[in-house]
A = this chain, B = another copy of it.
Amino acid sequence: MGNRPGPVAERVLPALSWLRGYRRTDLPGDLTAGLTTGFMLVPQAMAYALLAGLPPSVGLYASTVPLVAYALFGSSRQLAVGPVAMVSLLVAAGISELATPGTPEYARYAALLALMVGLAQVALGLVRLGFLTNFISHAVITGFTAAAAIVILLSQVKHLLGVKIEPTESTLRLVAELWGQLPQTHWLALLVGAASIAVLVVLRARFPRFPAAMVVVLAATLLTWGLGLSRQGLPIVGEVPAGLPPFALPDLNPAAVSQLAVAALTILFVGYLESVSIAKMIAARERYRIYPDQELVALGMANVVAGLFSGYPVTGGFSRTAVNYQSGARTGLAALVTAALVALTLILLTPLFRHLPQAALAAVVVTAVVGLIDVRGMRQLFRLKPADGWVATVTFATTLGVGVEAGILTGVALSLLQFIWRSSHPHIAELGYVPAEGAYLNIRRFPEAIQHPDVLILRIDAALYFANMGFIETRLRQCLAERPETRWVVLDLSGVNDIDASAVHALEELMASHRERGITFVFAAMKGPVRDVIARAGWDSTTGYWQECHSVRDALEKIGLQPAAEN
Protein backbone atom coordinates (compact mmCIF):
# COMPACT_ATOMS: atom_id res chain seq x y z
CA MET A 1 0.00 0.00 0.00
CA GLY A 2 3.09 2.11 -0.28
CA ASN A 3 2.16 4.28 -3.22
CA ARG A 4 -1.21 5.43 -1.89
CA PRO A 5 -1.76 9.06 -0.98
CA GLY A 6 -3.15 10.41 2.29
CA PRO A 7 -2.40 10.13 6.02
CA VAL A 8 -1.47 6.76 7.50
CA ALA A 9 -4.62 6.47 9.61
CA GLU A 10 -6.86 6.77 6.57
CA ARG A 11 -4.76 4.30 4.65
CA VAL A 12 -5.26 1.70 7.39
CA LEU A 13 -8.90 2.61 8.07
CA PRO A 14 -10.34 4.12 4.88
CA ALA A 15 -13.65 4.62 6.74
CA LEU A 16 -12.07 7.59 8.51
CA SER A 17 -12.20 9.57 5.27
CA TRP A 18 -16.02 9.47 5.14
CA LEU A 19 -16.62 9.28 8.91
CA ARG A 20 -14.73 12.49 9.64
CA GLY A 21 -16.39 14.63 7.07
CA TYR A 22 -19.79 12.92 6.99
CA ARG A 23 -22.29 15.10 5.11
CA ARG A 24 -25.90 15.26 6.28
CA THR A 25 -26.95 15.21 2.62
CA ASP A 26 -25.63 11.65 2.28
CA LEU A 27 -27.82 10.40 5.16
CA PRO A 28 -31.14 9.77 3.34
CA GLY A 29 -29.42 7.79 0.59
CA ASP A 30 -27.38 5.74 3.05
CA LEU A 31 -30.46 4.95 5.18
CA THR A 32 -32.67 3.93 2.25
CA ALA A 33 -29.94 1.86 0.64
CA GLY A 34 -28.95 0.19 3.91
CA LEU A 35 -32.55 -0.85 4.64
CA THR A 36 -33.25 -2.01 1.06
CA THR A 37 -30.07 -4.10 0.97
CA GLY A 38 -30.93 -5.48 4.41
CA PHE A 39 -34.36 -6.64 3.27
CA MET A 40 -32.65 -8.41 0.37
CA LEU A 41 -29.89 -9.81 2.54
CA VAL A 42 -31.99 -11.50 5.25
CA PRO A 43 -33.67 -14.08 2.99
CA GLN A 44 -30.54 -14.49 0.82
CA ALA A 45 -28.32 -15.07 3.85
CA MET A 46 -30.58 -17.85 5.09
CA ALA A 47 -30.92 -19.38 1.62
CA TYR A 48 -27.17 -19.33 0.91
CA ALA A 49 -26.41 -20.79 4.34
CA LEU A 50 -28.69 -23.73 3.49
CA LEU A 51 -26.90 -24.02 0.13
CA ALA A 52 -23.60 -24.21 2.02
CA GLY A 53 -25.04 -27.01 4.19
CA LEU A 54 -25.39 -24.73 7.22
CA PRO A 55 -28.37 -23.72 9.39
CA PRO A 56 -30.00 -20.43 8.27
CA SER A 57 -28.84 -18.71 11.46
CA VAL A 58 -25.18 -19.02 10.37
CA GLY A 59 -26.03 -17.05 7.23
CA LEU A 60 -27.55 -14.30 9.37
CA TYR A 61 -24.53 -14.33 11.73
CA ALA A 62 -22.25 -13.84 8.72
CA SER A 63 -24.36 -10.79 7.77
CA THR A 64 -23.66 -8.73 10.89
CA VAL A 65 -20.11 -8.17 12.25
CA PRO A 66 -18.37 -8.89 8.90
CA LEU A 67 -20.28 -5.99 7.33
CA VAL A 68 -18.99 -3.65 10.04
CA ALA A 69 -15.43 -4.91 9.52
CA TYR A 70 -15.61 -4.27 5.79
CA ALA A 71 -17.19 -0.83 6.28
CA LEU A 72 -14.18 0.15 8.43
CA PHE A 73 -11.36 -1.30 6.30
CA GLY A 74 -12.78 -1.32 2.78
CA SER A 75 -11.99 1.25 0.11
CA SER A 76 -15.34 0.76 -1.62
CA ARG A 77 -18.24 2.77 -0.21
CA GLN A 78 -21.04 0.80 -1.83
CA LEU A 79 -19.86 -2.79 -1.64
CA ALA A 80 -22.44 -5.05 0.04
CA VAL A 81 -20.55 -7.81 1.86
CA GLY A 82 -22.11 -11.03 3.15
CA PRO A 83 -22.92 -14.60 2.10
CA VAL A 84 -22.98 -15.15 -1.70
CA ALA A 85 -24.05 -18.14 -3.76
CA MET A 86 -20.71 -19.05 -5.39
CA VAL A 87 -18.73 -18.97 -2.15
CA SER A 88 -21.48 -20.94 -0.39
CA LEU A 89 -21.18 -23.63 -3.05
CA LEU A 90 -17.39 -23.75 -2.53
CA VAL A 91 -17.93 -24.05 1.23
CA ALA A 92 -20.28 -27.01 0.67
CA ALA A 93 -17.78 -28.66 -1.72
CA GLY A 94 -14.90 -28.09 0.69
CA ILE A 95 -16.48 -29.26 3.94
CA SER A 96 -18.97 -31.97 2.93
CA GLU A 97 -16.17 -34.55 2.77
CA LEU A 98 -15.13 -33.79 6.33
CA ALA A 99 -18.47 -33.59 8.16
CA THR A 100 -22.22 -34.10 7.69
CA PRO A 101 -24.09 -30.97 6.54
CA GLY A 102 -26.31 -29.50 9.24
CA THR A 103 -24.26 -30.82 12.17
CA PRO A 104 -22.51 -28.55 14.72
CA GLU A 105 -19.18 -30.10 13.62
CA TYR A 106 -19.88 -28.97 10.04
CA ALA A 107 -20.62 -25.44 11.28
CA ARG A 108 -17.33 -25.40 13.22
CA TYR A 109 -15.46 -26.31 10.04
CA ALA A 110 -17.26 -23.47 8.24
CA ALA A 111 -16.15 -20.94 10.86
CA LEU A 112 -12.58 -22.29 10.70
CA LEU A 113 -12.68 -21.97 6.91
CA ALA A 114 -13.79 -18.32 7.20
CA LEU A 115 -10.93 -17.61 9.62
CA MET A 116 -8.41 -19.28 7.27
CA VAL A 117 -9.70 -17.41 4.22
CA GLY A 118 -9.62 -14.16 6.19
CA LEU A 119 -6.08 -14.55 7.52
CA ALA A 120 -4.80 -15.55 4.07
CA GLN A 121 -6.53 -12.57 2.46
CA VAL A 122 -5.10 -10.15 4.99
CA ALA A 123 -1.62 -11.64 4.48
CA LEU A 124 -1.85 -11.51 0.67
CA GLY A 125 -3.13 -7.94 0.85
CA LEU A 126 -0.30 -6.83 3.14
CA VAL A 127 2.36 -8.30 0.83
CA ARG A 128 0.43 -6.80 -2.12
CA LEU A 129 -0.32 -9.98 -4.01
CA GLY A 130 -3.81 -8.88 -5.03
CA PHE A 131 -2.71 -8.93 -8.67
CA LEU A 132 -2.66 -12.73 -8.59
CA THR A 133 -6.36 -12.70 -9.43
CA ASN A 134 -5.42 -11.13 -12.76
CA PHE A 135 -4.41 -14.60 -13.87
CA ILE A 136 -8.03 -15.73 -13.85
CA SER A 137 -9.12 -14.73 -17.36
CA HIS A 138 -12.55 -13.59 -18.48
CA ALA A 139 -12.98 -16.87 -20.35
CA VAL A 140 -12.28 -18.87 -17.19
CA ILE A 141 -14.73 -16.75 -15.18
CA THR A 142 -17.46 -17.13 -17.83
CA GLY A 143 -17.09 -20.91 -18.03
CA PHE A 144 -16.68 -21.39 -14.30
CA THR A 145 -19.60 -19.15 -13.32
CA ALA A 146 -21.99 -20.87 -15.70
CA ALA A 147 -21.03 -24.31 -14.43
CA ALA A 148 -21.20 -23.21 -10.79
CA ALA A 149 -24.65 -21.71 -11.40
CA ILE A 150 -25.85 -25.03 -12.82
CA VAL A 151 -24.45 -26.89 -9.80
CA ILE A 152 -26.21 -24.42 -7.50
CA LEU A 153 -29.49 -24.73 -9.41
CA LEU A 154 -29.31 -28.52 -9.24
CA SER A 155 -28.66 -28.33 -5.50
CA GLN A 156 -31.96 -26.45 -5.06
CA VAL A 157 -34.13 -28.85 -7.04
CA LYS A 158 -34.56 -31.15 -4.03
CA HIS A 159 -36.02 -28.27 -2.02
CA LEU A 160 -38.34 -27.34 -4.86
CA LEU A 161 -39.50 -30.96 -5.16
CA GLY A 162 -39.65 -31.40 -1.39
CA VAL A 163 -37.58 -34.62 -1.52
CA LYS A 164 -34.56 -35.80 0.49
CA ILE A 165 -31.26 -36.55 -1.28
CA GLU A 166 -27.95 -37.82 0.06
CA PRO A 167 -25.28 -35.13 -0.48
CA THR A 168 -22.94 -36.01 -3.39
CA GLU A 169 -20.04 -34.28 -5.18
CA SER A 170 -20.88 -35.81 -8.55
CA THR A 171 -23.24 -33.81 -10.73
CA LEU A 172 -24.24 -36.88 -12.70
CA ARG A 173 -25.12 -38.88 -9.60
CA LEU A 174 -27.12 -35.94 -8.26
CA VAL A 175 -29.14 -35.75 -11.47
CA ALA A 176 -29.70 -39.51 -11.38
CA GLU A 177 -30.88 -39.42 -7.77
CA LEU A 178 -33.19 -36.50 -8.44
CA TRP A 179 -34.65 -38.43 -11.36
CA GLY A 180 -35.21 -41.44 -9.11
CA GLN A 181 -36.91 -39.27 -6.45
CA LEU A 182 -39.23 -37.59 -8.96
CA PRO A 183 -42.23 -39.83 -8.07
CA GLN A 184 -41.83 -38.76 -4.40
CA THR A 185 -42.34 -35.10 -5.34
CA HIS A 186 -44.17 -33.21 -2.59
CA TRP A 187 -46.75 -31.26 -4.56
CA LEU A 188 -47.25 -28.63 -1.92
CA ALA A 189 -43.49 -27.87 -1.91
CA LEU A 190 -43.47 -27.69 -5.69
CA LEU A 191 -46.46 -25.33 -5.60
CA VAL A 192 -44.87 -23.02 -3.01
CA GLY A 193 -41.54 -23.06 -4.91
CA ALA A 194 -43.09 -22.43 -8.32
CA ALA A 195 -45.33 -19.67 -7.00
CA SER A 196 -42.38 -18.00 -5.23
CA ILE A 197 -40.29 -18.12 -8.38
CA ALA A 198 -43.14 -16.66 -10.45
CA VAL A 199 -43.75 -13.80 -8.00
CA LEU A 200 -40.01 -13.06 -7.75
CA VAL A 201 -39.54 -12.98 -11.51
CA VAL A 202 -42.52 -10.70 -12.06
CA LEU A 203 -41.71 -8.34 -9.17
CA ARG A 204 -38.02 -8.05 -10.20
CA ALA A 205 -38.91 -7.32 -13.80
CA ARG A 206 -41.48 -4.68 -12.88
CA PHE A 207 -40.04 -3.12 -9.70
CA PRO A 208 -36.28 -3.72 -9.67
CA ARG A 209 -35.72 -1.88 -6.36
CA PHE A 210 -38.56 -3.48 -4.46
CA PRO A 211 -37.35 -5.94 -1.76
CA ALA A 212 -39.13 -8.80 -3.52
CA ALA A 213 -37.28 -11.64 -1.78
CA MET A 214 -38.21 -10.37 1.68
CA VAL A 215 -41.85 -9.99 0.69
CA VAL A 216 -42.02 -13.46 -0.85
CA VAL A 217 -40.28 -15.06 2.12
CA LEU A 218 -42.52 -13.27 4.64
CA ALA A 219 -45.69 -14.07 2.67
CA ALA A 220 -44.73 -17.75 2.31
CA THR A 221 -43.89 -17.93 6.02
CA LEU A 222 -47.15 -16.34 7.11
CA LEU A 223 -49.16 -18.57 4.76
CA THR A 224 -47.40 -21.71 5.97
CA TRP A 225 -47.94 -20.69 9.57
CA GLY A 226 -51.54 -19.59 9.08
CA LEU A 227 -52.64 -22.64 7.08
CA GLY A 228 -50.51 -25.05 9.13
CA LEU A 229 -48.90 -26.33 5.91
CA SER A 230 -45.97 -27.92 7.74
CA ARG A 231 -48.43 -30.45 9.16
CA GLN A 232 -49.14 -31.40 5.52
CA GLY A 233 -45.49 -32.37 5.24
CA LEU A 234 -44.18 -29.14 3.65
CA PRO A 235 -40.47 -28.96 4.64
CA ILE A 236 -39.80 -25.83 6.71
CA VAL A 237 -36.64 -24.24 7.99
CA GLY A 238 -37.41 -25.08 11.63
CA GLU A 239 -36.02 -23.54 14.80
CA VAL A 240 -33.81 -20.50 14.14
CA PRO A 241 -32.05 -19.60 17.41
CA ALA A 242 -32.67 -16.03 18.55
CA GLY A 243 -29.88 -13.67 19.60
CA LEU A 244 -26.76 -11.99 18.26
CA PRO A 245 -23.92 -14.08 16.77
CA PRO A 246 -22.05 -15.90 19.57
CA PHE A 247 -18.27 -15.45 19.77
CA ALA A 248 -16.33 -18.73 19.42
CA LEU A 249 -12.68 -19.26 18.57
CA PRO A 250 -12.54 -21.90 15.79
CA ASP A 251 -10.50 -24.98 16.63
CA LEU A 252 -7.25 -24.51 14.69
CA ASN A 253 -6.21 -28.16 14.63
CA PRO A 254 -3.51 -28.74 11.98
CA ALA A 255 -5.23 -31.73 10.35
CA ALA A 256 -8.41 -29.74 9.68
CA VAL A 257 -6.41 -26.74 8.48
CA SER A 258 -4.47 -28.79 5.93
CA GLN A 259 -7.65 -30.54 4.74
CA LEU A 260 -9.36 -27.19 4.18
CA ALA A 261 -6.36 -25.49 2.57
CA VAL A 262 -7.37 -26.00 -1.07
CA ALA A 263 -10.95 -24.90 -0.40
CA ALA A 264 -9.68 -21.83 1.45
CA LEU A 265 -7.43 -20.83 -1.44
CA THR A 266 -10.22 -21.25 -3.98
CA ILE A 267 -12.69 -19.25 -1.86
CA LEU A 268 -10.04 -16.58 -1.30
CA PHE A 269 -9.57 -15.97 -5.02
CA VAL A 270 -13.13 -16.53 -6.23
CA GLY A 271 -14.57 -14.37 -3.46
CA TYR A 272 -12.05 -11.61 -3.99
CA LEU A 273 -12.59 -11.65 -7.74
CA GLU A 274 -16.39 -11.30 -7.48
CA SER A 275 -16.04 -8.54 -4.92
CA VAL A 276 -13.31 -6.44 -6.48
CA SER A 277 -14.80 -6.46 -9.96
CA ILE A 278 -18.11 -4.93 -8.84
CA ALA A 279 -16.34 -2.56 -6.43
CA LYS A 280 -14.09 -1.32 -9.24
CA MET A 281 -16.99 -0.73 -11.59
CA ILE A 282 -18.92 1.39 -9.09
CA ALA A 283 -15.82 3.28 -7.93
CA ALA A 284 -15.09 4.25 -11.53
CA ARG A 285 -18.63 5.62 -11.94
CA GLU A 286 -18.38 7.52 -8.68
CA ARG A 287 -14.89 8.81 -9.47
CA TYR A 288 -13.08 7.47 -6.46
CA ARG A 289 -10.32 4.85 -6.36
CA ILE A 290 -10.33 1.24 -5.23
CA TYR A 291 -7.08 -0.12 -3.81
CA PRO A 292 -7.03 -3.82 -4.72
CA ASP A 293 -4.65 -4.78 -1.93
CA GLN A 294 -6.63 -2.79 0.66
CA GLU A 295 -9.76 -4.57 -0.60
CA LEU A 296 -8.04 -7.88 0.06
CA VAL A 297 -7.21 -6.76 3.61
CA ALA A 298 -10.78 -5.52 4.20
CA LEU A 299 -12.43 -8.70 2.91
CA GLY A 300 -9.91 -10.61 4.99
CA MET A 301 -10.94 -8.72 8.15
CA ALA A 302 -14.61 -9.43 7.32
CA ASN A 303 -13.84 -13.13 7.01
CA VAL A 304 -11.76 -13.19 10.18
CA VAL A 305 -14.68 -11.80 12.23
CA ALA A 306 -17.08 -14.11 10.34
CA GLY A 307 -14.90 -16.95 11.61
CA LEU A 308 -14.79 -15.58 15.16
CA PHE A 309 -18.54 -14.90 15.36
CA SER A 310 -19.93 -18.30 14.25
CA GLY A 311 -20.31 -17.29 10.62
CA TYR A 312 -18.91 -18.68 7.37
CA PRO A 313 -16.93 -17.19 4.43
CA VAL A 314 -18.32 -13.93 3.00
CA THR A 315 -17.47 -11.59 0.17
CA GLY A 316 -18.86 -8.61 -1.71
CA GLY A 317 -21.94 -9.79 -3.63
CA PHE A 318 -22.67 -8.72 -7.18
CA SER A 319 -26.45 -8.26 -7.09
CA ARG A 320 -26.75 -6.82 -3.57
CA THR A 321 -23.99 -4.30 -4.27
CA ALA A 322 -25.81 -3.17 -7.40
CA VAL A 323 -29.03 -2.74 -5.39
CA ASN A 324 -27.17 -0.91 -2.61
CA TYR A 325 -25.66 1.50 -5.12
CA GLN A 326 -28.86 2.07 -7.05
CA SER A 327 -30.77 2.67 -3.81
CA GLY A 328 -28.52 5.62 -3.07
CA ALA A 329 -25.69 4.37 -0.84
CA ARG A 330 -23.08 7.12 -0.54
CA THR A 331 -20.78 5.80 2.21
CA GLY A 332 -20.09 2.76 4.37
CA LEU A 333 -22.88 3.94 6.68
CA ALA A 334 -25.32 2.06 4.42
CA ALA A 335 -23.54 -1.21 5.29
CA LEU A 336 -23.76 -0.37 9.00
CA VAL A 337 -27.54 0.16 8.61
CA THR A 338 -27.82 -3.20 6.83
CA ALA A 339 -25.89 -4.93 9.62
CA ALA A 340 -28.14 -3.31 12.24
CA LEU A 341 -31.25 -4.51 10.39
CA VAL A 342 -29.92 -8.10 10.29
CA ALA A 343 -29.03 -7.88 13.99
CA LEU A 344 -32.56 -6.69 14.76
CA THR A 345 -33.95 -9.60 12.72
CA LEU A 346 -31.79 -12.00 14.73
CA ILE A 347 -33.14 -10.60 17.97
CA LEU A 348 -36.82 -10.22 17.04
CA LEU A 349 -37.85 -12.16 13.94
CA THR A 350 -36.30 -15.61 14.31
CA PRO A 351 -39.42 -17.19 15.87
CA LEU A 352 -41.28 -16.21 12.71
CA PHE A 353 -38.76 -17.87 10.34
CA ARG A 354 -39.37 -21.22 12.01
CA HIS A 355 -42.30 -21.62 9.57
CA LEU A 356 -40.41 -20.42 6.49
CA PRO A 357 -40.79 -23.11 3.77
CA GLN A 358 -37.49 -24.32 2.30
CA ALA A 359 -39.01 -24.21 -1.18
CA ALA A 360 -39.43 -20.42 -0.87
CA LEU A 361 -35.75 -20.04 0.04
CA ALA A 362 -34.80 -22.27 -2.89
CA ALA A 363 -36.80 -19.92 -5.10
CA VAL A 364 -34.70 -17.00 -3.80
CA VAL A 365 -31.48 -18.86 -4.74
CA VAL A 366 -32.73 -20.03 -8.12
CA THR A 367 -33.85 -16.60 -9.27
CA ALA A 368 -30.58 -15.08 -8.04
CA VAL A 369 -28.19 -17.42 -9.85
CA VAL A 370 -30.02 -18.29 -13.07
CA GLY A 371 -28.70 -15.09 -14.65
CA LEU A 372 -25.12 -16.27 -14.14
CA ILE A 373 -25.44 -18.76 -17.01
CA ASP A 374 -24.23 -16.44 -19.73
CA VAL A 375 -24.84 -18.30 -22.97
CA ARG A 376 -24.54 -15.12 -25.00
CA GLY A 377 -21.18 -14.33 -23.38
CA MET A 378 -19.99 -17.83 -24.22
CA ARG A 379 -21.03 -17.47 -27.85
CA GLN A 380 -19.39 -14.05 -28.00
CA LEU A 381 -16.11 -15.54 -26.77
CA PHE A 382 -16.11 -18.01 -29.65
CA ARG A 383 -16.77 -15.19 -32.07
CA LEU A 384 -14.09 -12.89 -30.60
CA LYS A 385 -11.32 -15.44 -30.08
CA PRO A 386 -12.13 -19.10 -30.65
CA ALA A 387 -9.25 -20.05 -28.33
CA ASP A 388 -10.91 -18.12 -25.48
CA GLY A 389 -14.18 -19.87 -26.26
CA TRP A 390 -12.48 -23.23 -25.87
CA VAL A 391 -10.88 -22.21 -22.59
CA ALA A 392 -14.35 -21.27 -21.31
CA THR A 393 -15.84 -24.53 -22.56
CA VAL A 394 -13.15 -26.72 -20.98
CA THR A 395 -13.44 -24.77 -17.71
CA PHE A 396 -17.21 -25.23 -17.82
CA ALA A 397 -17.00 -28.96 -18.51
CA THR A 398 -14.29 -29.56 -15.88
CA THR A 399 -16.19 -27.61 -13.23
CA LEU A 400 -19.37 -29.51 -13.94
CA GLY A 401 -17.77 -32.92 -14.46
CA VAL A 402 -14.93 -32.96 -11.93
CA GLY A 403 -15.44 -30.14 -9.42
CA VAL A 404 -15.20 -26.44 -8.80
CA GLU A 405 -11.53 -26.33 -7.78
CA ALA A 406 -10.39 -28.55 -10.64
CA GLY A 407 -12.40 -26.35 -12.99
CA ILE A 408 -10.66 -23.13 -11.97
CA LEU A 409 -7.18 -24.67 -11.92
CA THR A 410 -7.66 -26.25 -15.35
CA GLY A 411 -8.96 -22.98 -16.73
CA VAL A 412 -6.05 -20.93 -15.40
CA ALA A 413 -3.45 -23.42 -16.63
CA LEU A 414 -5.11 -23.62 -20.03
CA SER A 415 -5.34 -19.87 -20.52
CA LEU A 416 -1.66 -19.41 -19.59
CA LEU A 417 -0.61 -22.21 -21.97
CA GLN A 418 -2.74 -20.65 -24.68
CA PHE A 419 -1.01 -17.30 -24.19
CA ILE A 420 2.43 -18.93 -24.33
CA TRP A 421 1.41 -20.89 -27.41
CA ARG A 422 0.27 -17.73 -29.19
CA SER A 423 3.38 -15.78 -28.28
CA SER A 424 5.58 -18.67 -29.44
CA HIS A 425 4.01 -18.48 -32.92
CA PRO A 426 4.13 -14.74 -33.55
CA HIS A 427 2.75 -12.91 -36.54
CA ILE A 428 5.58 -12.22 -39.01
CA ALA A 429 4.89 -10.07 -42.06
CA GLU A 430 7.06 -9.79 -45.17
CA LEU A 431 6.97 -6.12 -46.17
CA GLY A 432 7.07 -4.34 -49.48
CA TYR A 433 6.62 -0.74 -50.53
CA VAL A 434 3.03 0.22 -51.31
CA PRO A 435 3.16 3.44 -53.35
CA ALA A 436 -0.53 4.25 -52.77
CA GLU A 437 -0.02 4.25 -48.99
CA GLY A 438 3.53 5.57 -49.08
CA ALA A 439 4.53 2.91 -46.56
CA TYR A 440 6.10 -0.53 -46.17
CA LEU A 441 3.25 -2.98 -45.67
CA ASN A 442 2.50 -6.71 -45.52
CA ILE A 443 2.84 -8.15 -49.05
CA ARG A 444 0.06 -10.65 -48.24
CA ARG A 445 -2.44 -7.85 -47.58
CA PHE A 446 -1.00 -5.69 -50.39
CA PRO A 447 0.04 -7.94 -53.30
CA GLU A 448 0.97 -4.86 -55.34
CA ALA A 449 3.78 -4.06 -52.87
CA ILE A 450 7.17 -3.58 -54.50
CA GLN A 451 10.18 -5.57 -53.24
CA HIS A 452 13.89 -5.21 -53.94
CA PRO A 453 15.23 -8.54 -55.20
CA ASP A 454 18.20 -8.48 -52.82
CA VAL A 455 16.44 -7.10 -49.72
CA LEU A 456 14.17 -9.13 -47.45
CA ILE A 457 12.09 -6.98 -45.07
CA LEU A 458 10.36 -8.77 -42.18
CA ARG A 459 8.24 -7.27 -39.41
CA ILE A 460 8.04 -9.41 -36.26
CA ASP A 461 5.00 -8.66 -34.08
CA ALA A 462 5.98 -10.08 -30.69
CA ALA A 463 8.46 -9.80 -27.86
CA LEU A 464 11.48 -11.93 -28.82
CA TYR A 465 12.09 -14.68 -26.27
CA PHE A 466 13.26 -18.25 -26.03
CA ALA A 467 9.95 -19.86 -26.95
CA ASN A 468 9.50 -18.06 -30.27
CA MET A 469 13.04 -17.72 -31.65
CA GLY A 470 12.89 -21.23 -33.19
CA PHE A 471 9.73 -20.28 -35.04
CA ILE A 472 11.17 -16.96 -36.19
CA GLU A 473 14.43 -18.60 -37.35
CA THR A 474 12.56 -21.25 -39.33
CA ARG A 475 10.45 -18.57 -40.97
CA LEU A 476 13.50 -16.46 -41.80
CA ARG A 477 15.37 -19.40 -43.36
CA GLN A 478 12.25 -20.28 -45.35
CA CYS A 479 12.06 -16.76 -46.75
CA LEU A 480 15.79 -16.78 -47.56
CA ALA A 481 15.53 -20.16 -49.30
CA GLU A 482 12.71 -18.77 -51.46
CA ARG A 483 14.75 -15.67 -52.30
CA PRO A 484 18.35 -16.85 -52.80
CA GLU A 485 19.61 -13.48 -54.10
CA THR A 486 18.95 -11.81 -50.74
CA ARG A 487 21.91 -9.82 -49.50
CA TRP A 488 20.19 -7.66 -46.87
CA VAL A 489 17.75 -8.74 -44.19
CA VAL A 490 15.88 -5.76 -42.73
CA LEU A 491 14.07 -6.67 -39.51
CA ASP A 492 11.39 -4.13 -38.58
CA LEU A 493 11.34 -4.35 -34.77
CA SER A 494 8.63 -1.71 -34.19
CA GLY A 495 6.40 -4.41 -32.71
CA VAL A 496 9.11 -5.94 -30.52
CA ASN A 497 8.53 -4.72 -26.97
CA ASP A 498 11.06 -6.89 -25.17
CA ILE A 499 13.95 -9.27 -25.81
CA ASP A 500 15.58 -11.89 -23.61
CA ALA A 501 19.05 -13.43 -23.51
CA SER A 502 18.01 -16.47 -25.58
CA ALA A 503 16.79 -14.21 -28.35
CA VAL A 504 19.97 -12.12 -28.30
CA HIS A 505 21.98 -15.33 -28.51
CA ALA A 506 19.84 -16.72 -31.35
CA LEU A 507 20.17 -13.46 -33.31
CA GLU A 508 23.94 -13.52 -32.85
CA GLU A 509 24.07 -17.07 -34.21
CA LEU A 510 21.80 -16.14 -37.10
CA MET A 511 24.02 -13.21 -38.02
CA ALA A 512 27.22 -15.25 -37.66
CA SER A 513 25.93 -18.07 -39.84
CA HIS A 514 24.73 -15.66 -42.54
CA ARG A 515 27.74 -13.37 -42.47
CA GLU A 516 29.83 -15.81 -44.51
CA ARG A 517 27.07 -15.98 -47.10
CA GLY A 518 27.37 -12.22 -47.49
CA ILE A 519 24.04 -11.43 -45.86
CA THR A 520 23.91 -8.36 -43.63
CA PHE A 521 21.23 -7.78 -41.00
CA VAL A 522 19.69 -4.35 -40.49
CA PHE A 523 17.52 -3.72 -37.44
CA ALA A 524 14.96 -0.97 -37.96
CA ALA A 525 12.77 0.86 -35.43
CA MET A 526 14.29 -0.79 -32.38
CA LYS A 527 12.51 0.31 -29.17
CA GLY A 528 14.29 1.67 -26.10
CA PRO A 529 14.06 -1.41 -23.85
CA VAL A 530 15.31 -3.66 -26.69
CA ARG A 531 18.14 -1.29 -27.56
CA ASP A 532 19.25 -1.28 -23.91
CA VAL A 533 19.62 -5.07 -23.90
CA ILE A 534 21.44 -5.09 -27.25
CA ALA A 535 23.83 -2.45 -25.94
CA ARG A 536 24.56 -4.57 -22.86
CA ALA A 537 25.22 -7.56 -25.14
CA GLY A 538 28.10 -5.53 -26.58
CA TRP A 539 27.00 -5.71 -30.21
CA ASP A 540 29.08 -3.43 -32.29
CA SER A 541 27.55 -2.19 -35.52
CA THR A 542 30.92 -1.14 -36.90
CA THR A 543 31.81 -4.77 -37.64
CA GLY A 544 29.69 -4.43 -40.74
CA TYR A 545 27.46 -7.47 -40.48
CA TRP A 546 24.62 -5.66 -38.81
CA GLN A 547 23.35 -2.12 -38.63
CA GLU A 548 20.61 -0.17 -36.95
CA CYS A 549 18.20 2.40 -38.35
CA HIS A 550 15.22 4.43 -37.20
CA SER A 551 12.83 3.06 -39.79
CA VAL A 552 12.57 0.71 -42.74
CA ARG A 553 12.89 3.72 -45.07
CA ASP A 554 16.10 4.83 -43.32
CA ALA A 555 17.40 1.28 -43.55
CA LEU A 556 16.95 1.17 -47.33
CA GLU A 557 18.59 4.56 -47.71
CA LYS A 558 21.52 3.44 -45.58
CA ILE A 559 21.88 0.31 -47.70
CA GLY A 560 22.16 2.67 -50.63
CA LEU A 561 18.85 1.90 -52.24
CA GLN A 562 16.16 4.41 -53.00
CA PRO A 563 12.80 3.28 -51.66
CA ALA A 564 11.34 1.09 -54.38
CA ALA A 565 8.68 3.52 -55.50
CA GLU A 566 11.22 6.23 -56.25
CA ASN A 567 13.29 4.08 -58.58
**Which of A's residues lie within 8 Å of B, judged by CB?**
131, 133-139, 280-281, 284-285, 287, 289, 292, 380-381, 383-385, 387-389, 415-416, 419-420, 422-424, 426-427, 442, 445, 461-463, 465-471, 473-474, 477, 481, 494-495, 497-498, 500-502, 504-506, 509-510, 513-514, 516-517, 527-529, 533, 536-537
Residue in chain B with minimal CB distance to A501 = B388
- A134 adjacent to B469 (CB under 8 Å): yes
* Residue of A415, A500, A510 with most chain B CB atoms under a 10 A cut-off: A500
Looking at chain A's contact residues, is the secondary structure mostly helix, strand, loop, or mixed? Answer: helix
Question: Which of A385, A389, A427, A529 counts the most chain B CB atoms within 10 A?
Answer: A385
Q: Is the CB of B426 within 8 A of A416?
A: no
Q: Which of A445, A477, A501, A528 has the most CB of B within 10 A?
A: A501
Nearest CB in chain B to that of A389: its residue: B501
Once A463-B423, A513-B284 are accepted as A-B contacts, the answer to whether A384 and B468 lie under 8 Å apart by CB is no
Q: Which of B287, B468, B516 contacts A285 (CB 8 A)?
A: B516
- How far in angstroms is the closest Cβ of chain B from A508? 10
Q: Pick the most buried of A134, A289, A415, A468: most chain B CB atoms within 10 A of its CB.
A: A134
Q: Is the Cβ of B513 less than 8 Å from the Cβ of A285?
A: yes
Q: Do the beta carbons of B466 and A135 come within 8 Å of each other?
A: yes
Compute how far the CA of A388 lies from the CA of B497 in the bound complex, rounded to whole angstroms.
17
- Complex Cα distance, B342 from A209, in Å, reads 89
Copies in the complex: 2
Q: A136-B466, A423-B463 are in contact. List 16 more A-B contacts (CB 8 A).
A: A134-B466, A134-B467, A134-B470, A134-B471, A139-B501, A284-B477, A380-B537, A388-B500, A388-B501, A388-B502, A423-B423, A427-B529, A445-B528, A462-B497, A494-B495, A495-B527
Provide the bound-state CA to CA distance between A415 and B469, in Å.
14
Q: Indicate if the CB atoms of B461 and A462 lie closer than 8 Å.
A: no
Contact of A502 with B137 at beta-carbon distance under 8 Å, contacts A513-B281, A517-B287 already known: yes
Kindly list the 9 A-B residue pairs having the minimum CB-CB distance in the complex, ordered from nearest: A284-B513, A137-B466, A138-B502, A134-B470, A388-B501, A461-B497, A137-B502, A384-B501, A138-B505
Contact residues in B for A426 (Cβ distance below 8 Å):
497
Distance from A487 Cβ to chain B, minimum over Cβ atoms (Å): 13
| Chain B residues in 8 Å Cβ range of A516 | 285
